[in-house]
Structure 1
Amino acid sequence: MPFSDGLPIGALAERTGLAVSAIRYYEDQGLISPWRNPGGQRRYQRADIRRLSFVMIAQQFGLSLPEIREVLSGLPGNRTPTKADWTRISKGLRKLLDERISTLLRLRDNLDGCIGCGCLSLPNCKLYNPEDRAKKGGSGPRYLMGDTPDT
């Protein structure tokens, strides 16, 4: 069968390393959009190999499926994405990834100290968060979320 008529789901699974059930799940989530041939079988674009590869990588970066769907919505649906398309998407993700890296670094560096949650359970809280000052910034682990003791 010529692949110019689209890839069958088995071929897409083989190329991506994903189970057929995972491909169907990603289809249900709106991450790829196959069509049906005259026999009613799903057919996928060759570009779906890249889309699914992006999904797997983006999940490793911690992106949720709704975030991934939003990113993929910026790709053209009627043609194979170009290098310029992928460059634009990667530039758009840079800020998000930088923020996540910053959060992870703060977590790594401050997890054993005060995280500004206002729990007052650590002996150091009297030094780093006297009178629960971190609470002024809102709920949650304020210092891990980017607040500093001097703000």
Structure 2
Amino acid sequence: MRRLLTELGESGRTGALHIGGVPGGVLYLIAGRISYAESPACPGLGERLVSSGRLAPQTWRAVYAEGRGGHRVGRVLLRDGWLGQNELSLRVVAVIADAAHVLLQQADAPARFVPGERHWLGEVPGVDLGSPGHLTAARLRAVPGPRRPRKRVTATGP
């Protein structure tokens, strides 16, 4: 998977990399850069905005309904003042980081690239994580390894 992501990034491809297995998911690329990532194992942007209380459920549904067909949910959030540019960018980066962490641990999962497939969020200015190969390497370094046992501290007094 690492080589495939690097090739897609270096060639500046736009589309969706569907990753099979459990939990599976999708990495969306625009001009070779990851623009969004999703996996059933991680909450997406809408779920995070609603569960945190940042947006009311009916507001999210209205924004999503208006923007999803034109791949411009992000632009609708900004246009209507529901989120500022920096907040949207940071929230999208958090979603990408969480989903990519899960997806990139599935090194042997089947993957297929669908050229031109876009996410309903659309392109969000300010979301620049570098090339997928760079992100892949960083995530693989972050996979936890075995830890040495620690001494237990026991309280001895009142």
Q: Could you say which structure has the higher strand fraction?
A: 2
- Structure with the greater alpha carbon radius of gyration: 1
Higher relative contact order (CA 8 A, sep 6+): 2
Assess same fold via TM > 0.5.
Answer: no
Q: Could you say which structure has the higher helix fraction?
A: 1
TM-score tier (shorter): under 0.3
